[in-house]
Structure formats: C-alpha cells, structure tokens
Amino acid sequence: MKTKTIKDLKFETLLPKELIKKRVNEIALQLDALHIGSEPPLMICVMNGAFIFTADLVRAMQVKVLLGFIRASSYRGTTSSGNLELSGIEKLNIEGKNIVIVEDIIDTGATLEAIIEQLQKRNPLQLHIVSLLQKPHAPKFENTIVGFEIDDRFVVGYGLDYDGLGRDIDEIMVMK
Ligand code: IMP
Ligand code: MG
C-alpha cells in the first residue's frame, strides 16, 4: 500500500493499478459486445478527469472507435462548487450515432445529468455511459457500466485531481 501527500492532504492506495487494469479490460469486452457489427461508437471523454481511463479503455477495445472530447468542471479542492461548466459538446456530431460517454466518477450525478440532457437533444442512435468510479449517493443512470462502487470519500489518481494535482498517479488513492 502506497501513501502520498498532496498539499495538505494524505492519501493511501484504494485501487491498485493491476485491479484497475483488470476491470478496464472487462469493461472493454462489454463495450465491444455492445458495438460489434454496428458503426464505430463515438467515445466522448469528459475532461479532464477521464483522460487516462479513456486512453486505456479505447486501447483495450477491439472494435473501431471515434473519439470526442468535452470539458466539464465543477470541483474546487475536495468539494463540488455546484457551478457546472460544460464545453465542447456543440462541436460533436451526435445525430444518429452510437455514443459512449466516458466519465471518471459519478458523485452527485449533476455533471452526467447535464451532459446527457445536452446529448439527448441531438438525437443519438444509442447512448451508453461508462464511469470508472461511482459514489454511493449517485442516482442510477440507464445503460451505465460502472467500474467500481466506492465509499463517499475523496479520491485522486488515474486522472482524478486534488486542486489540479495527482492526475498522473497510476492508481486510485483515497484521502486518509
Ligand atoms: P458530480 O457532478 O457531482 O457527479 O461530479 C462529477 C465530477 O466531480 C467528476 O467528473 C470529477 O471530476 C469530480 N469529482 C467527484 N468526486 C471526486 C473525487 O473524489 N475526487 C476528484 N474529483 C471528483
Ligand atoms: Mg470528471
């Protein structure tokens, strides 16, 4: 078990990289099965947090994929500011396409709800959601694959940050 200090907070290993890798491979198989024989899905990476998960996931998948990137931000420090900013959706070609939203974590679900609402308006053929992590209070979304259900504690690593730091850590660490 690793420990790390980022600014004023201490973190310890929650999900080691081998476990994440195994789960990412399982999710890739599920997504392959959902899209085999159909048009390549547009995998929409929700930046910044999902950049590593997306990179690993698309490389573990066997079907051809298209990639799109949107940006969502609401967190300041370890709490959500509730001030959601979304950008980049307008540039994507959604109508009639198979869409997969790739998120790092579903906490309150507000970010995902806003993204889904904007995408649905543009008539995708299919809409799936994949999130590496999900916290306990998150509402249930349809057609959603979750990597790991975790406790309501602040995590960093594998793309997730604490005030901009820790995204490069190769595992998921939890605040002590
Ligand atoms: P939601 O809108 O409350 O579901 O929050 C989703 C976004 O908040 C995620 O995409 C993350 O970027 C961020 N977030 C939620 N929980 C954590 C955490 O424990 N660590 C780092 N970022 C988090
Ligand atoms: Mg995020």
Model pLDDT for residues 51-87, shown as the tens digit of each residue: 999 999 999 999 999 999 999 987 666 776 667 889 9
d(CA 147, CA 79): 22
User: Which amino acid is present at 50?
Assistant: A
CA distances from 120 to 66, 77, 127 (A): 19, 31, 8
- The torsion of the CA quartet 160, 165, 169, 171, rounded to 10 degrees, works out to -40
pLDDT at position 1: 83
Q: Is 28 in the pocket of ligand 1 (CB under 6 A)?
A: no
CA angle 82, 86, 90 (to 5 degrees): 160
Measure 50 CA to ligand 2 centroid, in angstroms: 6
* Closest ligand 1 atom number to CA of residue 135: 16
Mean of the per-residue pLDDT values for the chain? 95
Is residue 150 lining ligand 1, measured as CB closer than 6 Å?
no
Spatial distance between the Cα atoms of 136 and 159, rounded to a whole number of angstroms: 20
Q: Is 32 a catalytic residue?
A: no
The protein residue whose alpha carbon is closest to atom 15 in ligand 1 is: 107
User: What is the pLDDT averaged over residues 111-117?
Assistant: 95
pTM of this prediction?
0.95
* The one catalytic residue among 32, 107, 161, 168: 107
CA 37 to ligand 2 centroid distance, Å: 30
- The number of beta carbons lying within 10 Å of the beta carbon of residue 11 is 22
Q: Which of 6, 11, 45, 80 to mutate to test the pocket of ligand 1 (most atoms within 8 A of CB)?
A: 80
When pLDDT is cut at 50, 70 and 90, the band that residue 143 belongs to is very high
Residues with Cβ within 8 Å of residue 37, at least 6 apart in sequence: none
Answer yes or no: is pLDDT of 92 > 90. Answer: yes
Q: Is 144 left (phi over 0), alpha (psi -120 to 50) or beta?
A: beta
Burial (Cβ within 10 Å: 0-12, 13-18, ≥19) of residue 67: middle
